[in-house]
Amino acid sequence: KTNTLSPSIPTSIISDPIFIYMASSSSSSAIGAIKESRASIVVLSKNYATSTWCLDELILILEQRRECNHFVLPVFYGVEPTDVRNQKGSFTIEVKPSSKWTYDNVCMWKTGLTEVASLAGEVVSGPETRILKKIVDTIYDKLDRKEVPLPPNLIGMTTHDKKINFWLEQCNLEFLVIYGMGGSGKTTLAKYIYDSNQKYFEYVSFVEDIGSTCKGDNDLLKLQEQLLKDILGGKKRKIPGVSRGTCIIGQALEMKRALIVLDDIVDHKQLVALLGTGKINAQSKIIITTRENPDKWFDLSCWRFQKYEMKLLNDDESSELLCRHAFGCKVPMSGFEELVLQAVQYCEGNPLALEVLGSSLFKNDAENWASQLRLLERDIDFRVQGVLIRSYASLPNKTVKKLFLHIACFFVGKDMDYVSKILEPDYSAISGIKTLINRYLLFVSPNKKLMMHRLLQEMGKSIVRQESDLPAKRSRVWLSSDSYKILKKGIGSETIEGLALDMIMLHAENYAFKIEVKEEDVNGEEICLSSVVKHDRICSLEIGKRMEKDRTTKTCESIIYRVKNGFANAIWCIWETIRRTFTTSQRCQNYQVLIELWHSHQACLKGKRNLALNLIRNHILALNDLQNSMNQK
């Protein structure tokens, strides 16, 4: 029966060597064919287990499978897979008084039969022609060597290739963790590796977009079932619960040699639920993409991994990627050079943004380019926003989300220690900033300034804009022109948590005024902080008394902020570029006042108070009325 089945397989359509075991093959030629082939079809018939020659070659085939990614397809011809797996019926083998049927050999053959029966195969129970076509299709899919085209947005692939090929060749590194900012090309790179190498593995699975699809246990259960189906060769298996699913997948991963991609993991718990924590087949390769630094994920695990940080593109690479999508070539068309430069500066090396922007500008004239770029200064593209906002949505709590929005709107480019000191009491800024850095939403420059990718900053501002069409009803106002109108009309006090004023800009545009910021504490006492910017045109403005204690008023170079770092009543005041006079009124006398003056000419401090002064690059001629100020620093 083996002879009638095997010659019917049209191996001529397959360019790669394939070994089909036939009873007429000689031992030496069969061994050579197995070692030179990339796949073997093992036809298991009723008399298979009576031949020591067949059993020895099965052991060789399985060794090739473990060591050389040799694909094995068992065909159960007139026998049940369970009989082969459990050595029952015609597959019962025992020790015999023979030099071949020794105890050691029998144990080895039993292990081999159990292993081959556990592989995904074909059971011949109907017309042979239909089964033969299915077998051929399976082998063809596994051995097809079609070249996978390089994705157009994978610029600088030479660098990627070296590190990735090193990982693929290592037997002691099961995991590759690709991490970085949203839109940086992590999924694109993982898909390219998957497409290029899946033919070398028996089982493959690509679980996409886990972060946005996995919201609860039911979603996680569906992902487990998808993964288990893939690594069991298409066999569906119902999973009763997540914890049970983790155990089943863990057991399968010990036996199966698989290539798995888990795309957009946002929580270590998702990784454990999908893979367990046990041993993984040394021949398997698992790729994880995430927006979080994965250093702590593998601390207590036996898993071995290699990290790969997805760097943003430099200006030359960015220009090439943008031009590929906008013009269909690597360089800008004549007359578009400056516009391409502006677009590259806006995207700051983010491949997704470059691809989206380039595609949207395809076949547009220079006037439309300029108009589109002006629009982006006010509103981020929704396709880019949709990807980036996942990082914000995955933040662990509302406090960290508020901290991100505060930094995006007011504190980008500011000293990290300085910002931490101001925001720590209300936002746990020290730990929160660390979280944002680990999630690639923030980074620290060499001189310890808090920096944020421009698109992330625009995304944060867009989140605030969506709160209301009216700036006065938003939580944060960073445009000085909006702040001026809000202060002048005395509106927005119930909703505004932060407000920015660029004194230099307002002064240049004749917006000069006197600002009084009034706040009420729980006892109803008012605090008044005032700064006279220009004497000849003064209009009194105030933020209403309902302003909550944790609100911020920031003047581009100026901040008024209440802090609670151990003081019952404390105000932090930072005034920069105040050319005239800084004063505090009598109403501050019961409060701990911490003041930083930058570039001021005079400071008038009235009332009895605890006072801390930081005088930076000042030309102060007088510090008046300090006799009532205690504990000056």
Active site residues: 57
**What one-letter code names the amino acid at 300?**
L
User: What is d(CA 352, CA 152) in angstroms, rounded to the nearest whole number?
Assistant: 12
> What is the C-alpha to C-alpha distance for residues 424 and 21, in angstroms, rounded to an integer?
71
- Report helix, strand or coil for 404: helix
Q: Which amino acid is at 82?
A: T
Q: Of 18, 34, 15, 17, which Cα lies nearest the Cα of 26?
A: 34
User: Cα 604 from chain centroid?
Assistant: 51
Burial of 466 (0-12, 13-18, 19+ CB in 10 A): exposed
Q: What DSSP character marks residue 348?
A: T
**Beta pairing class for 558-562 and 552-555:** antiparallel
- The answer to whether 193 touches 175, Cβ cutoff 8 Å, is no
Residue 317, SS3 per DSSP: helix
Q: Decide: 461 and 409 in contact? Cβ < 8 Å.
A: yes
Six-digit token pair at 280? 């993984």
Sequence-distant (6+) residues with CB within 8 A of 452 are 407, 408, 412, 441, 442, 443, 460
Buried b (16+ CB within 10 A) or exposed e, 203-242: bbbbbbebbeebeeeeebbebbbbbbebbbeeeeeebeeb
Q: Kind and range of the H or E element at 293? A: none
Q: CB 100: neighbour CB atoms within 10 A?
A: 12
Which own/partner pairs from 520-524 qualify as long-range (CB within 8 Å, at least 24 positions apart)?
520/545, 520/546, 520/547, 521/549, 521/569
Q: Which residues of 78-184 form beta strands (DSSP E)?
A: 122-124, 175-179
Nearest of 562, 492, 476, 473 to residue 521 by alpha carbon: 562
> Counting every residue, how long is the chain?
633
Which two structure tokens, joined as six digits, stand for 162? 């070296």
Helix/strand/coil for 464 = helix
Q: Which residues have a Cβ under 8 Å from the Cβ of 267 and sit 6 or more positions away?
A: 394
